[in-house]
Amino acid sequence: MTPRTKVLYFSHITSPTALTLPVQALCRRARAAGILTVIDGAHAPGQVDLDLTTLDADVYTGNLHKWLCAPKGAGFLWVRPELQPQITPLVVSWGYGPERGHFEENDFVSAHQWQGTDDISAYLSVPAAIQFQAEHDWPAVRQQCHTLLTATLARLETITGAASPYPPRAPRRFQQMAVAPLPPQSDVVALKQRLIAEHHIEIPCFAWQGRPLLRISVQGYNNADELTQLAEAVQTLLSQ
């Protein structure tokens, strides 16, 4: 942050590296400096507990079809109430009316929610998705996924010889998604293609800042056998 910084934009959980950032601390420092915070929460809802009031962000967007188990297309935009008059929708909703010369409490929702003939079925399903996770003790499910992922990362580290980027005694830096480093000479494009073609495994393989990575996501419907299959497939392909 410098005196010229006006907005701090960052991810709650990064997509390529799957790191959970210290969002609340960043928001607190930004607010003290008079800087707006805009957070991309695409991977956060459902993967971590989310309290927007406690988080104290200015703007937060989140997807609900990834880890909250809602249908594809469900998401949300949250804006601090006092900032809502400054947010102009990119798609003009039926309730948009800046010509009125004033901003009432419900204008923000009216200006954004009715976008012509857009199908809102995915949005309407969100309460059912939240209820489903509540009924199935999702905090315990998330912990099981994290435990399974941690064991898989350790196994892959043994296979690849590439050290994990997560310090063992640091605060939790990943949740149900993490990256496993691959050997420096790995052809990530070929590895991804062969995992699909030869082992029927669809998983992101890519280079991030010159470092080849394998990004693993573990949801409640995944099991230990599937993670074992992944580790064995990686071992087979890297040995050839």
Task: Please report, in tens digits, the pLDDT of each residue of the chain (240 residues total).
Answer: 899 999 999 999 999 999 999 999 999 999 999 999 999 999 999 999 999 989 999 999 999 999 999 999 999 999 999 998 888 888 777 767 655 445 555 678 877 877 778 888 999 999 999 999 999 999 999 999 999 999 999 999 999 999 877 766 666 889 999 999 999 999 999 999 999 999 999 999 999 999 999 999 999 999 999 999 999 999 999 998
pLDDT in tens, 79-122: 999 998 888 888 777 767 655 445 555 678 877 877 778 888 99
User: In order of start, what are the domains of the chain with their CATH numbers?
Assistant: 7-135 (3.40.640.10), 138-238 (3.90.1150.10)
Q: Which of 149, 146, 141, 142 is nearest to 216 (CA)?
A: 149
Structure tokens at 207: 């280079």
Residues 6 or more apart whose CB falls under 8 angstroms from that of 176 comprise: 47, 67, 142, 145, 146, 149, 217, 218, 219
Cα–Cα distances in angstroms (integers) from residue 105 to residues 53, 89, 111, in the given order: 18, 16, 11
Give CA 103 to chain center in angstroms: 32
Give the number of residues written for the chain: 240
Measured distance CA(122)–CA(10) in Å, rounded: 26
